[in-house]
Amino acid sequence: QLQLQESGPGLVKPSETLSLTCTVSGGSISSSSCLWGWIRQPPGKGLEWIGNIYYAGTTYYNPSLKSRVTISVDTSKNQFSLKLGSVTAADTAIYYCARLSLGYYVTDYWGQGTLVTVSS
Amino acid sequence: QSALTQPASVSGSPGQSITISCTGTSSDVGGYNYVSWYQRHPGKAPKVMISEVSNRPSGVSNRFSGSKSGNTASLTISGLQAEDEAEYYCSSYTSTSTVVFGGGTKLTVL
């Protein structure tokens, strides 16, 4: 059974960079049939897609976040990562890592989510 | 890209049917059959209930069904049960190879 697990600091200071890593187990991140990505949910708000990455490195980003976001992949560790720069309180959210299945374009596996708070 | 439009809340009594709409544009919902629906219970990760407009993944109750007409997709839940009370989100692939979610709908089972 495929499992995804987010890890990283739960508290980030304003103007700094938020960094999270997702470890994939029970399957290979080097699959040609899916993308790996990040989705977040601010308190009291809806889901917001952040971006996806293919194992070979091709990335797709939300236009509203593109200038601040970098998603990368490390196939040797079966991990992918998120960096979000110049954070503000508006970036406080539960961050989910997830798998998007190509062909169906459905996010079929999700991590449990991790709360990241931006505060000084 | 703008979020897909969903009603903020819907409600129904046990046994009844409800429908949640999801309105986008010809660049997302209307242009592709890649609309998915997700259920999220408090404190839990979202779970896919419908993919490709109307496909139910293995293990999802047949009380859940999806459809699409033009730029609007719909999720129907029949025979409402208490356990269906949750937030529901639609999402769609877009013409710029991105993904867009709806704002979410809170379903209350009365």
Residues B48/B59, Cβ–Cβ less than 8 Å: no
Please name the residue of chain B whose CA is at the shortest distance from the CA of residue A38. Answer: B99
The tokens of A93 are what?
């959210």
A47, A94, A107, A108: which to substitute to probe chain B, counting the most B Cβ within 10 Å?
A47
Contact B51 A106 (CB under 8 A): yes
Contact B48 A107 (CB under 8 A): yes
pLDDT higher than 90, residue B2 = no
pLDDT higher than 80, residue B1 = no
Sign of CA dihedral A11, A17, A23, A27: positive
Q: How far apart are CA A98 and CA A87, in angstroms?
A: 22
- Tell me the average pLDDT across B38-44: 94
**End-to-end Cα, chain B, rounded Å:** 35
How high is the pLDDT of residue A107? 95
Interface contacts A/B by beta carbons within 8 Å: 67
Contact B101 A107 (CB under 8 A): no
pLDDT one digit per residue (tens) for chain A, 120 residues: 999 999 999 999 999 999 999 999 999 999 999 999 999 999 999 999 999 999 999 999 999 999 999 999 999 999 999 999 999 999 999 999 999 999 889 999 999 999 999 999
Task: Give me the residue from B34, B45, B57 closest to A105, CB to CB.
Answer: B34
Chain A residues in contact with B100 (beta carbon < 8 A): 49
Residues B54/B67, Cβ–Cβ less than 8 Å: yes
Mention every residue, 6+ apart, whose C-beta is less than 8 A from residue A96. A6, A38, A39, A40, A41, A110, A111, A112, A113, B45, B46
Which residues 51-110 in chain A show a CB within 8 A of chain B? 52, 60-64, 96, 100, 104-108, 110
